[in-house]
Amino acid sequence: MKIVGGVQLAVGVLLLVGVWIGLPARFWPIDVAGTALAALCVVAGAGLLARRAWAPKIARVVSWITLGCGLALTTALASAIAHLAGSYGPVGAGGAALMGTIALLVLPYLVGLPLLQLSWLRRAA
């Protein structure tokens, strides 16, 4: 459980850094949702590290929320890739390549990691 807690805590900190430092512009729905998800990750990670009884349940909920957000973002990026590549010719191909790179960077952290954490939490239960 300590590994899952440490990873969950690290993901929470990385999400906070990504939302508040990495994003070039402020958009309040993203700021609020990203900060809330990061705070949930930090709470779940700290609870798992402290071996609290409520922590695995919170970690499962956070992992499902993260997985849902990751799948929604990946779907939106795939739609943007298809639209850019099909509508804007060579310029769209460059934009599609950029969106594809973003999707590849998001996929391991917002889809793969929550699936792995859910698997670990299921085995530990």
pLDDT of 4 above 90: no
CA separation, residue 19 to residues 36, 96, 121 (Å): 11, 23, 27
- Total residues belonging to the chain: 125
With a pLDDT cut of 90, the percent of the chain lying above it is 65
| Confidence (pTM) | 0.85
pLDDT of 1 above 80: no
Alpha-carbon distance of 62 to 42, in angstroms, equals 10
Q: Which pair of tokens denotes residue 19?
A: 């939302």
Q: Can you tell me the mean pLDDT for 5-17? A: 92
Rounded to 10 degrees, the C-alpha dihedral 18/114/65/12 comes to -30
Alpha-carbon distance of 28 to 48, in angstroms, equals 30
Alpha-carbon distance of 49 to 71, in angstroms, equals 27
